[in-house]
Homo-oligomer: A and B are copies of this chain.
Amino acid sequence: MIPLREIFDNDLFSEQDIRSQIEEYEIHELIDQWDTLNPDEKFTIFKYLDHTEKTDFLLELPVPDQEQLFQVFNGKQIDQLLGDLQPDDLVDIIQTVSEDVKKLLWEKLSDEAKRETLYLMRFDEDDAAGIMNPRYMAVSDRINVGQAMAFIRKNAADVESIYNIYVIDKKQVLVGVCSLKELLSANDAELVRSIMEDEFISVREDTDQEDVAKILETYDLVSLPVVDAGNVLLGIITFDDVIDVIREEQTEDVYKMGAMGGGSNRYLDTTVWGLVKKRIPWLIILLILGTISTNVVAHYDLVFRNALLATTFLMVFMPVITQTGGNSGSQSSTLMIRGLATGEIHFRDFWTVIFKELKVGLIIGLITGLVIFGRSILFPPNIAITHSIIVGIALGCVVVFSTLIGALAPLLIHRLGFDPTVMSGPLMSTVIDVCGLTIYFEIAWHMFKLISG
């Protein structure tokens, strides 16, 4: 396919040529090349999309582009788009666009859409109700399969998902679930109540969205009903909402591992100040925490000097000691954090984990100690063999310690009810810098005393 940039830059192409070239593209391919285009070209592309593709496409665009499109659309185009959007997607858009665009859209909404939007905006956006769609396919528990099928055929176009049919009583209480597949294979005369599954999975309006994701995944459900305390059906959450939750969660975790604060905004849309604000808090906290290491080093430097012992070789190996300690700590904390997140590791596995990590730590401590020993006698800067032995043993001990603390810290933090992801990479390695250097110098000091009798 011809790149979009070239399609628009080619003077030989008529409008019709451009259109037919663009129609060759799938929407994910258009999105990929989206930021090579100017606003006019973006509008042209959107105009040429199929009616059914427009909402999918809009939802994939970054917020500034969504705003731009709404601003250049005429009234009829906006009406159509708003009409095609599912209520939960509409709320997402209303909640993220600028005040101006929000006002523009709000005026265009039908009374019903306004009511629906206000209703959905009441809920916390991290809760089940915050991602649910209030339009679902529900039938009464007193009708038969034939009647239900007739009702579904008539109303299928109005709802997003008809894969699961929810069965409610006259008080809107959810009493059962029936897949369309089961309904199709059933006899017309049977009562819906008799074929429905009355032991079904549902979530409460205030269930955390990450728990919703786990439940939908476990049961491979295409949709999940959201109910209130009285079991009244409020809406449904579909698999695509869950995929969005998983991606969001993933971005947040990765940011935390990279020592950065919340929000999963697009990088290119974030201002320089926005980026600074996202990064500076952790950086300063870790910097101040990290300066404790300064006192550790200064203290031992004095101790060694007072004993008239050379410290140069110890100083020289400091960076590689802290780095290796940090790496081994990160490895065990990563395994713990992941295990806790996927629900594989629990606090009751505490001792199993600690013994396992102790064994692993001893083995990798031994290996890394030998490697640094070998390296320091074979290559410059050449140091005395006793010094090489000291460095090797000290590194081994630092690695054992780091491996253990890397496993311990996330388990304890999780136990206390906090998110253990915070203990990954950067914070872990700062803690290890301080403790690791203390261990390093202590061991060196004791070995020196041992050697000198």
A residues in contact (CB < 8 Å) with B? 26-28, 31-32, 35-36, 50, 56, 60, 62, 152-153, 156-157, 162-163, 180-181, 184-185, 199, 201, 214-215, 217-220, 222, 239-240, 242-243, 246-247, 250-251, 253-255, 257-260, 266-268, 272, 275-276, 279-280, 282-284, 286-288, 290-291, 293-295, 297-298, 301, 312, 315-320, 322-324, 326-328, 330-331, 333-339, 342-346, 348-349, 352-353, 356, 359-360, 363-364, 367-368, 371-372, 375-376, 379-381, 424-426, 429-430, 433, 437
Partner of A279, one of B253, B279, B317, B328: B328
Residues on B with C-beta less than 8 A from A376 are 291, 294
Query: What secondary structure prevails in chain A residues at the interface with B?
Result: helix
Residues on B with C-beta less than 8 A from A353 are 267
Partner of A27, one of B219, B282, B319, B336: B219
The closest CB in chain B to the CB of A157 belongs to B185
**Copy count, this protein chain:** 2
A199, chain B: closest CB distance, angstroms: 8
Partner of A239, one of B222, B282, B328: B222
- Most chain B CB atoms below 10 A, which of A56, A266, A324, A380: A324
Residues on B with C-beta less than 8 A from A32 are 343, 346
Q: Are B334 and A364 in contact (CB under 8 A)?
A: no
Q: Are B344 and A267 in contact (CB under 8 A)?
A: yes
- Most chain B CB atoms below 10 A, which of A60, A201, A250, A364: A250
Q: Are B257 and A334 in contact (CB under 8 A)?
A: yes
A311, chain B: closest CB distance, angstroms: 8
Q: What is the CA–CA distance of A315 and B314 in the complex, to the nearest angstrom?
A: 10
Q: What is the CA–CA distance of A380 and B240 in the complex, to the nearest angstrom?
A: 55
Q: What is the CA–CA distance of A328 and B293 in the complex, to the nearest angstrom?
A: 18
Q: Are B324 and A283 in contact (CB under 8 A)?
A: yes
Q: Are A267 and B339 in contact (CB under 8 A)?
A: yes
A178, chain B: closest CB distance, angstroms: 13
Partner of A163, one of B163, B220, B250, B363: B163
The closest CB in chain B to the CB of A284 belongs to B371
A-B pairs with the 9 shortest C-beta distances? Answer: A258-B334, A298-B381, A220-B240, A293-B319, A290-B320, A28-B218, A239-B239, A315-B315, A267-B339
Q: Are B323 and A433 in contact (CB under 8 A)?
A: yes
Residues on B with C-beta less than 8 A from A294 are 316-317, 319-320, 376, 381
A75, chain B: closest CB distance, angstroms: 27
Q: Are A364 and B316 in contact (CB under 8 A)?
A: no
Residues on B with C-beta less than 8 A from A381 are 294-295, 298
Residues on B with C-beta less than 8 A from A276 are 360, 363-364
Q: Are A56 and B218 in contact (CB under 8 A)?
A: yes
The closest CB in chain B to the CB of A86 belongs to B220
Partner of A247, one of B157, B246, B279: B246
